[in-house]
Chain A
Amino acid sequence: MISIDVWNASVDFPIFDAKTRSLKKRVLGKVGGKIGTDSKVPIIEALHDINVSINSGDRIGLVGHNGAGKSTLLRLLSGIYEPTRGAARVRGRVAPVFDLGVGMDQEISGYENIMVRGLYLGMTRKQMEKRVDDIAEFTELGDYLAMPLRTYSTGMRVRLALGVVTSIDPEILLLDEGIGAVDAAFLNKARDRLVDLVKRSGLLVFASHQDDLLLELCTSAIWMDEGRMKMQGSLREVLTAYKGRDPYSNVSKETLERLEAPALSGD
């Protein structure tokens, strides 16, 4: 049974090196979480009162402006951050694709990075060796896989990371906005694989600012604002409320038909 349940969860970051004095005035800017100064160490209240229940088959988009807590929420859902208050329960094998600059070793080759990521995601070396060819074919990176990762462009890194997570049949797929860096042709290919994955097993949570990507991958959405969940509902409702206009208004008819199909079967 694959699910993520979060009850009244908050995530507060202690900021040890910030000068308390400069934060004396309680900052309530538009960007970022609230900065509290109640304790000795200033804290950033990145998330509060998160209540969410995600089940197998769900494809959820996360929207909200910069610093609204999308990435932090993804890390909460992955189990990297355990809530400072409240509780969270993650059931299933998590495969995250977050910031692509970090979490990958710049100096080792693409092949070795595939291996390390696979091992991290709970695979054995043997299982990964079987999948390497499949990943190489899917990512279309070819001989580049023998090069150190520092020679890769951002898009190529996204391809590598997506190649790994889609090849291992993860149960919980968490994607941060970085994956928008790939070109349209690859995205089409990736979309089919991702939708297929979620259908077979598991769930997807995807944070993005790009409407087209969200429409391709998600059926429902959560709108994050200042670390709170402002709205949760179908993707169309949430995007309409967030953007102030219907996201489907500038989508061609063919695309619309294509998009509607998996959405209906998902519900």
Chain B
Amino acid sequence: MSSGPPASDSRTLKRALADLSAGARQRELWGHLAWQDIKQRYRRSVLGPLWITLSMGITALGLGLLYSQLFDAEIGTFLPYITTGFIVWNFILGCLTEGTDTFISNEGLIKHLPAPLSVYVLRTVWRQSIMFAHNMIIYFIVIAIFWGSVTTPDYSITEGGMPQPGLNWGVLLAIPAFALIAVNAGWVVLLFGIASTRFRDIPQVVTSLINLLFFMTPIVWSTDILRDKFGESVGWRDLVAELNPLYHFIQLLRAPLIGNEQSWHHWAIVGAFTVVGWLLALLVLRNYRARVSYWV
């Protein structure tokens, strides 16, 4: 006790940032844990993690067939649209629902082994990224099958819809788009994870709203259909999509993947969410990082 009692540094930004960097350095740990989560889930099943791919394939096929008939759309353009949207949605859904559960489900480890909180955040985000990669197999299959339809310049997803440039080298924009979404997943998991550990109603709120959000977001329908139906008088109905942040996240990644016109405002909105979200998450991490082990 040479230096005398110092002030506790539990609630400093320095410790919060140290937590993040220490977590990032333990890449092998969260990488291993995330893979293990996936292997664990499909242990002793014949197909193993291929079930992720298969179930996505079945869902995409079913949704594509049904909704292309309902909306009277060309299957060659509508099925890739739905499939891609659904794959992106699945990543967002996983980060939201499993994000709320991040620290709660790791209670045992948190109370028994000292580790930075960000390890559990990265474990969840990485697990979702692995699942996303599995689902992307379906994307490649669908694009291969409907290559002709989606590469045609000026194709439209539904009849009379906006003409789209068609699949071209712009598809590479999907890489920064996914990276940006994954960065957002980080703050979502961190923020929702900490808040849910303290307030156990949050996971329930998220679960009960998530289905509604799915149908409110243009995934099985498109903004083309909205404009087509209401013409110039679309007015407030357009806001259903525009005011929904998830629409911008989905469109950010979906548009390059199926050769759609990419509007810059999606990047701006998602970028703003990234900055504000991380600031909020850092504030919460600073103040409540040390409380999580008490709350779980």
Interface residues of A (CB under 8 A from B): 5, 7-8, 13-14, 16, 51, 53, 75, 78-89, 94, 96, 98-99, 102-103, 105, 107-108, 112, 115-117, 119-122, 124-125
Residues in B with CB closer than 8 Å to A13 are 294
CB pair B111 A75 closer than 8 Å: yes
Q: What's the least CB distance linking A218 to chain B, in Å? A: 21
Q: Are A82 and B8 in contact (CB under 8 A)?
A: yes
Q: Is the CB of A82 within 8 A of B114?
A: no
- Chain B min CB distance to A170 (Å): 12
- The answer to whether A103 and B5 have CB atoms under 8 Å apart is no
- Minimum C-beta distance from B123 to chain A (A): 11
CB distance from B258 to the nearest CB of A (A): 39
**Interface residues contributed by chain B, number (CB under 8 Å):** 29
> What CA separation (Å) do A8 and B115 show in the bound complex?
24
Q: Is the CB of B111 within 8 A of A80?
A: yes
Given A81-B293, A82-B290, A87-B7, answer yes or no on A120-B36 (Cβ-Cβ < 8 Å): no
**A-contacting residues, B1-30, CB 8 Å:** 1, 5-10, 26, 28-29
Contacting pair B111 A105 (CB below 8 A): no
Q: A98, B36: Cβ atoms under 8 Å? A: no
Given A14-B295, A103-B112, A108-B40, is A124 in contact with B28 using a C-beta cutoff of 8 Å?
yes
* B237 is an interface residue with CB less than 8 A from chain A: no
Cα–Cα, bound, A5→B4 (Å):
10
Contacts A5-B1, A103-B111; is A125 near B36 (CB within 8 Å)?
A: no
Contacts of A80 in B (CB 8 A): 110-114, 293
Task: Give A15 to B109 CA distance when docked, in angstroms.
Answer: 20
How many Å lie between the Cα of A220 and that of B104 in the bound state? 37
Partner of B113, one of A16, A85, A120: A120
User: Contact: A120 with B6, CB < 8 Å?
Assistant: no
Whether B112 contacts A96 by the Cβ 8 Å rule is: yes
Q: Are A78 and B114 in contact (CB under 8 A)?
A: yes
List 17 extra interface pairs beyond A89-B6, A103-B111, CB under 8 A: A7-B6, A16-B295, A78-B114, A82-B10, A86-B5, A87-B7, A88-B8, A96-B114, A99-B112, A102-B112, A103-B113, A105-B40, A115-B32, A116-B33, A120-B29, A120-B109, A120-B113
